[in-house]
Amino acid sequence: MLLVLDLVGVAVFAASGALAAVHARLDVFGVMVLAAVTALGGGIVRDVLLGVTPPSTLRQWPYLVVPAVVALLVFRWHPAVSRLRRGVQLADALGLALFVVTGTSVALATGAPAVTSALVGVITGVGGGVLRDVLLNEVPTVLRREIYALAAAGGAVVVVAGDAAGLARLPVALGAAFLVAAVRVLALWRRWNAPTPHP
Amino acid sequence: MLLVLDLVGVAVFAASGALAAVHARLDVFGVMVLAAVTALGGGIVRDVLLGVTPPSTLRQWPYLVVPAVVALLVFRWHPAVSRLRRGVQLADALGLALFVVTGTSVALATGAPAVTSALVGVITGVGGGVLRDVLLNEVPTVLRREIYALAAAGGAVVVVAGDAAGLARLPVALGAAFLVAAVRVLALWRRWNAPTPHP
Amino acid sequence: MLLVLDLVGVAVFAASGALAAVHARLDVFGVMVLAAVTALGGGIVRDVLLGVTPPSTLRQWPYLVVPAVVALLVFRWHPAVSRLRRGVQLADALGLALFVVTGTSVALATGAPAVTSALVGVITGVGGGVLRDVLLNEVPTVLRREIYALAAAGGAVVVVAGDAAGLARLPVALGAAFLVAAVRVLALWRRWNAPTPHP
């Protein structure tokens, strides 16, 4: 179950990385590299923090094939993909949601304490996007005004609390993922903003 | 003792990250994220390099509460904080000093050789600031003209030498921290510059 | 054998980092830090991914002395070094070639599977340059239009295939390194370009 959720997250984050690379006018190999970094970066950082080496992401073929295929599809049909602006935002929200949930769950499964697991989940969710933005020389989305970190933290806390309460894992995971994605999508579409410093 | 020094370092680096975030006009969650990354980044990198997983920084509540509280204080009262420009520089110098000393000491305590421990100490000291500057899209302070790396290396060498000579740890740690902070503050206030390449 | 190839890679990457730092007008300590990060970054990331902690690069004196000496030489005689533009490109190609080969070989030696080893080799090869470019606030070379990632991947696949076929290691390593360097140099000098997205 975790593997399937994780691969869906990999696919949607690969699409987000590939699209950003196309907009930055990288060549086809650059698009593939950035798609892979965005899709796999969060999971690799998660495993390094948990001491799982080599990271499981680097040990399984599907984790490489999925970003490569997605990158080539986006490279070829990017005008159509770009036109679906809301679709892309939805994909990014879904990727964040799935990675926060799988990251937190994997950490709990290694026996990490609750607070550690929640933090590792948040880092897993935002890590790939941070690497994508840093490599393209932009200030990462997670630091901009879009309730990104808060949505991720909320999902991680739900997974950890469900685990502590001994609830069934699948419904908790789906509920937490829905929460993250919903907060993100509503923040984008309704232009929710957190307060900024007064000047 | 190490824990207290470490938490003071966390607090002052959190203030430096939060202030940089306020100046970059991030929202309140961005300010909290950047404060946490600046304050905890060096210690997380230190533990990953030493094979301490999950990093101790991610296992203890105070390491999360301190940056969050500092970030909110800076967010609310940043004009007053900014006016204390020398105070901010002093805080950054103190953070560097404390993290170099605790990083080197933690590495020695895990049985790492002297040269490894000194390097890990320097990386611990400069790591948080490098992450802060990279995320804000700036060339890191450690690469600019301010005797930053040299001060850090000096402190790490003192800790390693004191350990090799079998001296009592607390006075050596305090002396090394004082050395780092003093070199940094003098470099800033007296405008010491290292040579630049001739054109 | 691996150690010698690795140190040659360290020296040529240190030169590339030091030259980039001189062009960015850093001071002498900034030049040394950037030379060290460029030269050692890939190997440190390799060891962290493989769970070799503390990283072997941080345990051996030559890995520190070589970048420091190279940085000072470049700092002092950079006009002569810059004039050798083709020489610098050749050095970077050679560094990439050597690090891909040693990274893949070290991963295989720790018992990592073939696909993991190839990926770790590519990351080892491109890692130092990515850190150099990110710290100087530039989009990394590996994402630009120069067949960089493809050359690295080709070399890593040759090493892994030679290992699977049970061939003697030294000739395979040299052949793979030659392949990487040759592809890179030809791509630069003949202006090979990969396709970019249509507008």
Query: What angle do the packed helices C148-164 and C85-109 form, to 10 degrees?
Result: 40
Name every chain A residue with its beta carbon within 8 A of the beta carbon of C194: 27-30
Name every chain B residue with its beta carbon within 8 A of the beta carbon of C34: 143
Best probe of the B interface among A45, A52, A116, by most B CBs < 10 A, is A116
Chain C: closest CA distance from residue B84 (Å): 28
Chains in contact with B, where contact means 3 or more Cβ–Cβ distances below 8 Å, are A, C
Name the percent of chain C lying above pLDDT 90: 58
**How many Å apart are CA B92 and CA B94, to the nearest integer?**
5
Best probe of the A interface among B26, B56, B58, by most A CBs < 10 A, is B58
Query: If you search the block for the tokens 């989940």, which residue do you land on?
Result: A121
Contact B74, B19 (CB under 8 A): yes
Query: CA torsion A140→A141→A142→A148, rounded to 10°?
Result: -170
* Interchain CB contact of B114 with A (< 8 Å): no
pTM over 0.90: yes
Position B35, amino acid: A
For chain A, list residues with pLDDT below 50: none
Alpha helices of B24-168 — where are they, by DSSP H?
28-50, 62-83, 85-109, 114-135, 148-164
B198 occurs within a structural domain: no
Contact A129, A45 (CB under 8 A): no
B100 occurs within a structural domain: yes
Residues contacting C61, CB < 8 A, separation 6+: B115
Which pLDDT score is estimated for C197?
Answer: 82
Chain C: closest CA distance from residue B77 (Å): 31
SS3 A178: helix
Q: Which of B27, B44, B137 sits opposite A196 (nearest CB)?
A: B27
Tokens of C113: 């599977």
ipTM: 0.89
Q: Which of B24, B33, B51 sits opposite A149 (nearest CB)?
A: B33
What are the pLDDT digits (tens) for C145-172? 668 889 999 999 999 999 999 988 889 9
**How many Å apart are CA B87 and CA B89, to the nearest integer?**
5
B194 occurs within a structural domain: no
Nearest Cα residue in chain A from C148: A29
Name every chain C residue with its beta carbon within 8 A of the beta carbon of B194: 27-30
Plot region of A178 (φ>0 → left; ψ -120 to 50 → alpha; else → beta): alpha
Beta-carbon separation of A28 and C143 below 8 A: no
What are the pLDDT digits (tens) for C87-136? 777 888 899 999 999 999 999 999 999 999 999 999 999 999 999 999 99
Nearest Cα residue in chain C from B142: C30
Q: Which of A28, A34, A53 sits opposite C50 (nearest CB)?
A: A53
What are the pLDDT digits (tens) for C47-68? 999 999 899 989 888 899 999 9
Which pLDDT score is estimated for A196?
Answer: 82
A194 occurs within a structural domain: no
Which pLDDT score is estimated for A86?
Answer: 72
Residues contacting C146, CB < 8 A, separation 6+: C184, C187, C188, C192, C193
Best probe of the C interface among A29, A48, A50, A75, by most C CBs < 10 A, is A29
Domain that holds residue A71: 2-189
Chain B: closest CA distance from residue C164 (Å): 30
Helix (H) or strand (E) holding A21: helix A2-23
Tokens of B128: 């948080």
Report chain B's C-alpha Rg in angstroms: 16
Beta-carbon separation of C26 and B196 below 8 A: yes
Q: Is A1 exposed, middle or buried (0-12, 13-18, 19+ CB in 10 A)?
A: exposed
SS3 A23: helix
C196 occurs within a structural domain: no
C198 occurs within a structural domain: no
Our count of domains for chain B comes to: 1
Chains in contact with C, where contact means 3 or more Cβ–Cβ distances below 8 Å, are A, B
**CB atoms < 10 A from the CB of B32, how many?**
27
Q: Which of A116, A130, A148 sits opposite B58 (nearest CB)?
A: A116
Q: What is the pLDDT along chain B (199 residues), one digit of tens a residue?
A: 677 878 888 999 999 999 889 888 898 999 999 999 999 999 999 999 999 989 998 988 889 999 999 999 999 887 777 776 677 778 888 999 999 999 999 999 999 999 999 999 999 999 999 999 999 999 898 888 668 889 999 999 999 999 999 988 889 999 999 999 999 989 888 888 788 887 7
Name every chain C residue with its beta carbon within 8 A of the beta carbon of B142: 30, 33
